[in-house]
Structure 1
Amino acid sequence: MTTGDHPDDRSDDRANDQANDDPNVRPDDRHDAAPDLRILGDRITLQPSGYVEPAPVVGEGKEEALMKNMARFRSEPLRFLREVSLHVSGTGWRAYDDVIGQPIFYPGFSEHIKTQILGAPLLQNKIAQLADMRVAVEEKEGLLNPADKDFLAKKTQRRAILVQALHEVAEKLTDNMICKYDSRPFIRGAYYLVSQLLLRAYHQGIHVSSEEVLRLRKVAEQAARNKQSIVFLPCHRSHVDYVSLQLICYRLGLALPIVVAGDNLNFPLVGAFLQRAGAMYIRRSFGDDQLYTTLVQTYIDVLLQGGYNLECFIEGGRSRTGKLLPPKFGILNFVLDSLLSGRVEDAIICPVSTQYDKVIETEGYVTELLGVPKKKENLADFLTGGSSVLSLRLGRVDVRFHEPWSLRSFVNEQVARHSKIPSAVHVDWTDMKNQVVRQKLLRTLGYKVLADINAVSVVMPTALIGTVLLTLRGRGVGHSELTRRVEWLMQRVRAKGGRVAHFGNAPLADVIERGLEVLGKDLVGVIDGVAERTYYAEDRFQLSFYRNMTIHLFISEALVAAALYTRVKQGGGPAMQDIPYRDLYDQVLFLSSLFRGEFIYSSEGLDTNLERTLSGLEADNVIFIERDEQGAITKIGLSDAERAAGRENYDFYCFLIWPFIEASWLAAVSIMGLTPPLGEKDDIWIQVSKAHASAQLLGKTLYHQGDLSYFEAVNKETLKNSYQRFEEEGIIQVVRSKDTRIPPRLRLAPEWCPGRDEATGRLRASGRLWDFIEKIASSRREGKNRRDGATVSTRVVALADRLGRRLFEEAVKGEEAKGKKGQGAVAARLTSEEEKGLSKSVREQKRRRRLEGRAHL
């Protein structure tokens, strides 16, 4: 296989035509796997059908560099000028003509889309409805007097004025929102410019699976014939995500997707550039703006009805922790509504995984997770950040496409499946207007997409190295041991059905060396001058981002290991560390429910997953299982072989989950401090953001005092997820105002409040919440004072109480200030309207929990 650049661009076109149009290269015409597609710089090469890659890994496909080796002026001035001239002239594939999909990049495209949006019946009806509602309000308030003899004429005139005003607002909002695919020369230049920038930072290129992209082209051809949209749903770890997908679609001749982006990116110059390159801007929050909500729905309708490709991030914002976030249902809800309402016949869903050797933004993520407010995007930071990127060497980007599937077929399958399942609450699953049906479909859709992304994700060498370094006991690890454990982890990843990034025929030692070089000495420290070169985690917090890229593969094993640890941590002989099956089952059930918002589980259910996980651990000789005469499991314990090996494999699974257990324990301890002080009623509400900040402060203090083992347990996102989980279970109650200027507030649910000593006012380490904390703590890692329960029940709880009292004092002072000034401060007590909303919310949560039929805390 050649890797250089072809001297004659005419052969580029021939290769491109062969890859794009020759029916002989399509997957369904092959007897084995699709041919390799190597795209380097400006050349596409198809490998001969008889080519066999040395030592292939079954099921992982062939991964190829899609874009690489862009010429640089200083080193290759002639080639650089040639590349520029080819892009300017639009020679060969660079012309971006005859793409697969609906027509885009022609003068008047955005005006055509805007006309369709503003003329859509859905938007017209909403404008008419809003105008009628406003006229009714004005009539009620006496601004329109029914007693006037020309009342009907005035009412009609006023309505017409309101309709015109709403049209003008809608037109302005539409212009700011829609992407503007009007200029093909612009996108050719943008492709070249962005490629130059991106491939200097990710110097090993963008890699794809040839089998997956050829399959995607075939699906795109069918979708184009049916005038159906492909909805790309990628994971989101970096701003590079949407750039890389746009570049891939451009290079493969697919119609570029329109990318849903937050309006925080719409700042001067950059915002306009991104909008012309495919960004559609939407607000982060819609509030009660009915016109804006309908406008977004109408735009989605127009795109799906026209068969234009769409891209939105299933997680909403970027993951600051490295693992998949729970699905956000905003845009997905609009897409599903288009289908369920009948305004759109079908759409093709394509989950996408984007993995990096190193993510550009991780350093900034760490500061955000430690509580430093996120800076608003601006041009100065964009330019300075871009210039520094040019000097980075971040390895490569690997993009994987799950097999696309029909949204209509998914809905039909779900309706048929749920209609057959008996339920305590009668629901007509064929009623697409039923909100219970819609919410169930939406939630199932979101988690299916996440599972599909996990299924095609590849594990990068940096993730392997980061995982090994953070799952070993001791300060550091020698080079030979690091290599051994990385090789073991690669085997485990594959055994779990995961994929490891290919590096051709490069020896594992070279791959590890390359990964260490990309991570850099700021993340992985090196000790020379000793008997063996030794590596250690320099920045554990930032390195945890890469460890979290592998945790989804082993979450079941990690939960079992943590449940078994409730006995292992008690010490004593091996027999004393064995656990009855029922106790293990209960703790796994508790932990899996606790982390329901953190991890993506198999949809087969706890019993099936647990049985398969235990069998796998037994086969790996990590545990032994004792069964009765009927074959039922009665007892589980660590195997003799695992003990003889120093528990290294068992510890690996524990180290994966312990930081998350610590974070949940910290969040639970922090809400103990939300117990109202003596003499204070439970009607004082604390700002959610202040409660989160107080929990972080508590965690940092406990970490430095030795009561918390993992500093990453204080990260904001994990704490927020824990608070969200506690809200779902009714442990805390949260009130969100319709007024966006009033932040969300919370309190500890009265039935969960622990008691206080009547004489001293101190919190009692007893009651429902304390038992809950102790159940989490039973799976925590053993550490300083960990066996002395009195330490936690006195000093730690006292510290949480002290911070909680400070929150109450600030809330009361804010209430008093609000009473004096009349504005400016956040109310610590609820209005009667908010109390009614709270009662309704509590009832709705109980109803939702009953409908879901899930295990609860």
Structure 2
Amino acid sequence: MSHDGDAVDDANSSAPDLQILGDEITLQPSGFVEPKGIVHDEKEEALMNQSPRFRSEPLQFLREVSLYVSGQGWRAYDRVIGQPVFYSGFSENMTSMVLSAPLLQKRISQLANDRLAVEEKEGLLNKDDKDYITKRAQRRNTLENSLLEVAEKLTDNMICKMESNAFIRGAYYLCMQLVTRAYHQGIHVSSEEVLRIRKVAELAAKNKQSIVFLPSHRSHIDYVSLQLICYRLGLTLPVVVAGDNLNFPVVGAFLQHAGAMWIRRSFGDDALYTTLVQSYIDTLLQGGYNFECFIEGGRSRTGKLLPPKFGILSFVLDSILSGRVKDCIVCPVSTQYDKVIETEGYVTELLGMPKKKENLADFLSNGPSVLSLKLGRVDVRFHEPWSLRKFVDNHLSKLSSIPPSLDTDHHNPEVRAVREKLLRALGYKVLGDINAVSVVMPTALIGTVLLTLRGRGVGKEELVRRVEWLTCRIRAKGGRVAHFGNAPLSEIVDRGLEVLGKDLVGVVEGLAEPTYYAVDRFQLSFYRNMTIHLFIYEALVSAAMYTRIKRGGGPSNQDIPYEELRTQVGFLSSLFRGEFIFSGAGLAANLDTTLRGLEADHVVRLDRDENGNIATIGLSDEERKAGRENYDFYCFLIWPFIEASWLAAVSLMGLTPPAGKNGHVWVEEAKAQNSAQLLGKTLYHQGDLSYFEAVNKETLKNSYARFQQEQIINVVKSKDSKIPPRLQLDPSWRPSRDPETGALLAEGKLWDFTEKIASSRREGKNRRDGATVSSRVLRLTDELGSRLFAEAEEAERKGGKVPSRLSKEEQEALDHNVESARRKRKLEGRAHL
């Protein structure tokens, strides 16, 4: 739905939601706050409906179960919109089509020929033998049969097995019970979007085209909720791409029969497996079967969208580019939660604890505790679907020339460049579409407000006021806030506080008014990050202005010249290129739009020259009188990310070779990042870091990836999968040392880069400032870096598997990659805001 930019929407202007709760689908009125002067005759629908339980309503419970067993009405799932699934022989038919795919047959023949060439070279097949041709043909036949057997076994392990209609009815009932007991207020979708997706599905079924669902990924509930919606609305269930880490006993088989296709987390150089996955995806898309994969790859541990992963997307793209598939329909999907089940586990992972492997024991032990939770509701939103063929043709039409063999010749640099451009455009369009339809939940509103206020806590009245302000700002930015009928805002805030619970938000009783405060800021930041994409431009501009505002003094002393602002905004936007999704309009256009918006909101004052161009920018008088609360809001959103980037940059100083070393030692990338995290924890507890969430592993990894793109660090990946990636600080970025003491000096290219980030960091309150800060921080990072170098050399001396030096082949590959990256960066020398 489009928004006209008004601060507050008419609550009845939006389409109503559908609430799915067990056997009931309820139309929920739109709107967040009751509009003044409007009287409603209809009664508000209760959100707390529950499916009958055996203990309290045994007869109703048994009746509902019998309806699923017998397949009454919609439960029969025998008149779906789309291709037929859940019939006996489905898996056998699918396996046969995959194994007979020309692409797979060609690959098997090629691999057999390659093996024959090796055997001939090794003398296992003698060309001078009088029966050479017969023996070669027999050997080829043996090799091809063996490869086909391997392919058949791999196919059986991989493909989904939608065999039984009775099974899916039972699976639906079981999953619905589990989900709606944990999320006791049900699954909500937009009625407008449901009607649209049904029409699209009918047309796609007629044309035998697949709908490719590309959802956001924050929880394991994501794919369950989408399957439940498709089943309940009579759409063919999509085949869901899932990592084989979830394929553990009992649960793995259950999911595979409910629509999961298992793939390895890494394909390596396995040509047969890669072709098999491509053939299976081709078969699904050629047959018009719905398909689902997660655009972000894994689950987001931070609450915001992750950069797109192109693995499965590249297979789908190849199906279209090759012409093996005429077209498919792309449908981006956003799934939002009042509370995500896994956030507590995410925090431990982000703080450096290794991810726990999924297993049946944990699944069973966690089940009862999940059922007793009161996690609110799930909101699923569908973007308007679009043709992938039209998207590809539109982008290819803009190229001066299209290289031949675009779908097959992946070693050709021109082909790789075009494919990468297409995939990036596709990935970021999908992410933008997901953000466009995402709804902001009350818990995200509350989390955002609590983490963007100065002071220890906030009173109830002030909390409601700021939530109302944030709601208006979200709608003015074209965002959506979840529908809750016409409930008063104070009730919605109470409901959000209840869902978040006392482990996240505490309340101090016995005061003049109840005062709320963030108990677990790290976990609460997950919910704050669900709103940051709406305000990223305002946040970057505010952080750039802070380089002057932090100086204090009179208002004129805090004004910033336009060019200085533009330079800092360009620097920050480039820094966060991998963190946030930016518009493609360009720096100048986006900056102009943002400044005009902030001026209209009375946050900033724009001083123009005689030609009408913006000369200087400062805080408006209205904003100063309001205690800078709106300006501070934008700063608080971005400061934790600035802190994380500063921490990552400071940690690179420690990668300077120790005094007396020649600089040939390479350290493990994961160990360097762990060392940066340890540095961050130390600096936080010593007062040199303001935000503990700045030490989270994901943001540090993103920063390191960005530094690699900028060639501040060089990373080498070995062909041996047992050797992890290693890195080294590029010689041109290495800081110098004091010739007498050997201590790192706070000067040079890397230090200047770090200081440019630091100029937008938050000062005061939680952070000490003084002349000794730089020397103390540098001493710590140098000590941790020296440990890394010592451990790398010691491990190699003891015969470890990870060499601290590069082989000749690795050095040549590195030189080639560095030169290629340098040329690419020259071509892309532009701002990314």
Normalising by the residue count of structure 1, what TM-score does the alignment of the two structures yield? 0.91
Instruction: After superposition, give the CA deviation of every residue in 1:137-194 in whole Å (9 maximum; x if it has no partner).
Output: 2222333333434333333322222211111111111100000001000000000011
Q: Which runs of 5+ in 2 are unaligned?
A: 1-12, 38-43, 408-414
Query: Is structure 2 residue 200 aligned with structure 1 residue 219?
Result: yes
Does structure 1 conserve the Cα–Cα contact (< 8 Å) formed by 2:332 and 2:434? yes
SS of aligned partner of 1:738: coil
What is the CA–CA distance in structure 2 between the aligned matches of 1:717 and 1:53, rounded to whole Å? 36
Tell me which of 553, 568, 581 is aligned to 1:600.
581
Which residue number in structure 2 is paired with residue 834 of structure 1? 810
Which residue number in structure 2 is paired with residue 357 of structure 1? 338
Tell me which of 417, 421, 438 is aligned to 1:457.
438
Compare relative contact order (CA 8 Å, sep 6+) and give the higher one, 1 or 2. 2
Which residue number in structure 2 is paired with residue 805 of structure 1? 786
Shift of the 382–36 alpha-carbon distance from structure 1 to 2, 3 Å rule, reads closer
Tell me which of 650, 662, 676 is aligned to 1:681.
662
SS of aligned partner of 1:613: helix
Which residue number in structure 1 is paired with residue 426 of structure 2? 445
What is the CA–CA distance in structure 1 between the aligned matches of 2:263 and 2:404, rounded to whole Å? 32
Greater mean deviation of Cα atoms: 433-442 or 684-693: 433-442
Query: Is structure 2 residue 58 aligned with structure 1 residue 82?
Result: no
Greater mean deviation of Cα atoms: 140-149 or 447-456: 140-149
Q: CA deviation at 1:44?
A: 4.7
Query: Is structure 2 residue 386 aligned with structure 1 residue 405?
Result: yes
Which residue number in structure 2 is paired with residue 328 of structure 1? 309
Q: CA deviation at 1:128?
A: 1.0
SS of aligned partner of 2:499: helix
Does structure 1 conserve the Cα–Cα contact (< 8 Å) formed by 2:48 and 2:184? no
Greater mean deviation of Cα atoms: 353-362 or 760-769: 760-769
What is the CA–CA distance in structure 1 between the aligned matches of 2:78 and 2:165, rounded to whole Å? 9
Instruction: After superposition, give the CA deviation of every residue in 1:548-589 in whole Å (9 maximum; x if it has no partner).
Output: 000000000000000000001111111110000000000000
RMSD in angstroms over aligned alpha carbons?
Answer: 2.3
- How many residues are paired up? 808
Does structure 2 conserve the Cα–Cα contact (< 8 Å) formed by 1:729 and 1:856? no
What is the CA–CA distance in structure 2 between the aligned matches of 1:586 and 1:791, rounded to whole Å? 29
Instruction: After superposition, give the CA deviation of every residue in 1:211-252 in whole Å (9 maximum; x if it has no partner).
Output: 000100000000000000000000000000000000000000
What is the CA–CA distance in structure 2 between the aligned matches of 1:148 and 1:495, rounded to whole Å? 81
Instruction: After superposition, give the CA deviation of every residue in 1:58-82 in whole Å (9 maximum; x if it has no partner).
Output: xxxxx99999632111121111110
Greater mean deviation of Cα atoms: 649-658 or 39-48: 39-48
Which residue number in structure 1 is paired with residue 702 of structure 2? 721
User: Runs (4+) of structure 1 moved beyond 6 Å?
Assistant: 32-36, 45-49, 51-54, 63-67, 784-787
SS of aligned partner of 1:318: coil
Query: Is structure 2 residue 828 aligned with structure 1 residue 852?
Result: yes
Q: CA deviation at 1:385?
A: 1.3
Q: Which amino acid aligns with 2:207?
A: N
What is the CA–CA distance in structure 2 between the aligned matches of 1:172 and 1:840, rounded to whole Å? 39
Which residue number in structure 1 is paired with residue 736 of structure 2? 755
Tell me which of 85, 89, 92 is aligned to 1:108.
89
What is the CA–CA distance in structure 1 between the aligned matches of 2:503 and 2:802, rounded to whole Å? 42
SS of aligned partner of 2:87: coil
Shift of the 355–52 alpha-carbon distance from structure 1 to 2, 3 Å rule, reads closer
What is the CA–CA distance in structure 1 between the aligned matches of 2:113 and 2:605, rounded to whole Å? 71
Query: Is structure 2 residue 155 aligned with structure 1 residue 174?
Result: yes
Shift of the 310–839 alpha-carbon distance from structure 1 to 2, 3 Å rule, reads same
SS of aligned partner of 1:554: helix
What is the CA–CA distance in structure 1 between the aligned matches of 2:778 and 2:237, rounded to whole Å? 55
Instruction: After superposition, give the CA deviation of every residue in 1:806-851 in whole Å (9 maximum; x if it has no partner).
Output: 0000000111112xxxxx4211111111111111211222233234
Equivalences for residues 530-549 of structure 1 within 5 A: 530-549=511-530
Does structure 2 conserve the Cα–Cα contact (< 8 Å) formed by 1:664 and 1:719? yes
Instruction: After superposition, give the CA deviation of every residue in 1:354-385 in whole Å (9 maximum; x if it has no partner).
Output: 00000000000000000000010000001111
Percent identity between the two aligned chains: 74
Shift of the 48–851 alpha-carbon distance from structure 1 to 2, 3 Å rule, reads closer
Shift of the 168–65 alpha-carbon distance from structure 1 to 2, 3 Å rule, reads farther
SS of aligned partner of 2:379: strand
Tell me which of 190, 200, 206 is aligned to 2:181.
200
Q: Which amino acid aligns with 1:510?
A: E
What is the CA–CA distance in structure 1 between the aligned matches of 2:665 and 2:766, rounded to whole Å? 34
Shift of the 151–169 alpha-carbon distance from structure 1 to 2, 3 Å rule, reads same
Shift of the 565–36 alpha-carbon distance from structure 1 to 2, 3 Å rule, reads closer
Does structure 2 conserve the Cα–Cα contact (< 8 Å) formed by 1:339 and 1:408? yes
Does structure 2 conserve the Cα–Cα contact (< 8 Å) formed by 1:178 and 1:281? yes
Which residue number in structure 1 is paired with residue 555 of structure 2? 574
Q: Which amino acid aligns with 1:665?
A: W
Does structure 2 conserve the Cα–Cα contact (< 8 Å) formed by 1:580 and 1:635? yes
Instruction: After superposition, give the CA deviation of every residue in 1:412-443 in whole Å (9 maximum; x if it has no partner).
Output: 22223455xxxxxxx54798452221111110
Q: CA deviation at 1:47?
A: 9.6
Equivalences for residues 726-805 of structure 1 within 5 A: 726-783=707-764, 788=769, 790-805=771-786
Which residue number in structure 2 is paired with residue 622 of structure 1? 603
Does structure 1 conserve the Cα–Cα contact (< 8 Å) formed by 2:214 and 2:430? yes
Which residue number in structure 1 is paired with residue 450 of structure 2? 469
SS of aligned partner of 1:690: helix
What is the CA–CA distance in structure 2 between the aligned matches of 1:713 and 1:39, rounded to whole Å? 38
SS of aligned partner of 2:592: helix
Q: Which runs of 5+ in 1 are unaligned?
A: 1-31, 58-62, 420-426, 819-823
Does structure 1 conserve the Cα–Cα contact (< 8 Å) formed by 2:374 and 2:499? yes
Q: CA deviation at 1:41?
A: 3.5
Does structure 2 conserve the Cα–Cα contact (< 8 Å) formed by 1:415 and 1:430? no
Equivalences for residues 267-666 of structure 1 within 5 A: 267-419=248-400, 428=402, 432=406, 434-666=415-647
Q: CA deviation at 1:716?
A: 0.2
Q: CA deviation at 1:282?
A: 0.4
